[in-house]
Amino acid sequence: MQGKKIVLGVSGSIAAYKSAMLTRLLVKAGATVKVVMTPAAGDFITPLTLSTLSKNPVLTSFVRDETGQWNNHVDLGLWADALVIAPASANTAAKMAHGICDNLLLAVYLSARCPVFLAPAMDLDMLQHPATQGNLDKLRSYGNIILAPGYGELASGLTGHGRMAEPEEIFDALQKFFQATGRLHGKSVLITAGPTQEALDPVRFISNHSTGKMGFSLAEVFAREGARVNLVSGPTQQRAQHSNINVIPVVSAEEMYQASASLFSESDIAVLAAAVADYRPVEKAEQKIKKTDGNLTLALTKTRDIAASLGKVKRPGQVMAGFALETENEQQNALKKLDAKNFDLIVLNSLNDKGAGFGHDTNKVTILDHKHGVRTFELKDKKDVARDIVNAIIEKLHD
């Protein structure tokens, strides 16, 4: 949805409250949203609410009252990448089907050259009436996309079909539609994320402070670009939102290696963002280790180097990126790791940068490539950092 231009039409329905959440989802994903309301929609949600969420003025009539300027429906119809009418009342759907043009939203609809999505919302008997079904069939024949209403309790108190599709469902439908033209449509991406846990006994383990936020943010951006994403994740509270993301949960470094190795050969891109434990106990105690008066000495052995193992079998055309978290000689150490692991790109984090690294919603990175090119970015939200990284990987994919 990044950079997409969406006209959101809101008609008179109790479901209009859901348009606020849909607006927020679209804006948060990087879309530009312009809202057009029918006169009746203002009885259910205020233009102020939607203008605040969309960060654009809400249009409700052909003429702006305060200036007398014309709201150009033709320009809006040509500007949009998609017109989404949610909720679409029975009245609005009927007017659309028959070319009636008595408000600004309907004029935008008749001017639109972009795909049109409708999310009907009405009582079950209104939805099932032959007139409504005929109107929806006619709209489908025009090429409009109908987002089927859901089943549940309705404003009338009855239970049945007629509930507007949930904002998340509409958002997902738009994402899937735009994926066909995404820059990574048809590509397969492997991502590792989060920490690993190496067990000492049944209740204790060795781990680190990784939250998985960076890896999950990367997965979302790749999925929005149309890729199929396999996300191998250590223990984390993060949750994947996009339907194109397949999460494979693991715990230990060995489990992460086995899952990653099984997926690597089919992946066009691999991004190793996990903070894998470098050592594990030589032996795991079968029972809880009891506290004693003396010191406890643990024998540790190295875990398998996932990046190096995959780098050895990387095939031509694959792009592989890794991460380096450093505290000193940052670029020098990152370049050594890039060469040793056979990475195409490495993303450098420094714990010396405030707001970067584990546990933060922000990050500050430097991206280095195998030609030792260096690109430094400012401190950003991790979702924005993820876009910078994905853009760099896409550039490398087309080198």
Residues with catalytic function: 208
Nearest alpha carbon to residue 322 among 297, 350, 341: 341
Whether residue 383 is annotated as binding a ligand: the answer is no
Q: If DSSP codes are grouped into helix, strand and coil, which group holds residue 184? A: coil
Whether residue 117 is annotated as binding a ligand: the answer is no
Whether residue 337 is annotated as binding a ligand: the answer is yes
194: alpha, beta or left? (left if phi > 0; alpha if psi -120 to 50): left
Distance, CA of 394 to CA of 323 (rounded, Å): 17
Whether residue 81 is annotated as binding a ligand: the answer is no
Residue indicated by tokens 């909720």: 87
- Burial (Cβ within 10 Å: 0-12, 13-18, ≥19) of residue 59: buried
Whether residue 312 is annotated as binding a ligand: the answer is no
CB 50 within 8 A of CB 58: yes
Within 8 A by CB and 6+ apart from 136, the residues are: 93, 97, 118, 120, 146
Measuring CA to CA, how many Å separate 150 from each of 8, 86, 119, 315? Answer: 20, 13, 10, 46
Within 8 A by CB and 6+ apart from 85, the residues are: 8, 9, 10, 11, 92, 96, 105, 109, 116, 117, 118, 119
Residue 362: strand pairing partners = 381
Chain mean position to CA 69: 37
Can you spell out the DSSP letters for 75-94? HHHHH-SEEEEEEE-HHHHH
- The binding site comprises 278, 288, 323, 337, 341
Give binding residues for CTP as ranges: 278, 288, 323, 337, 341
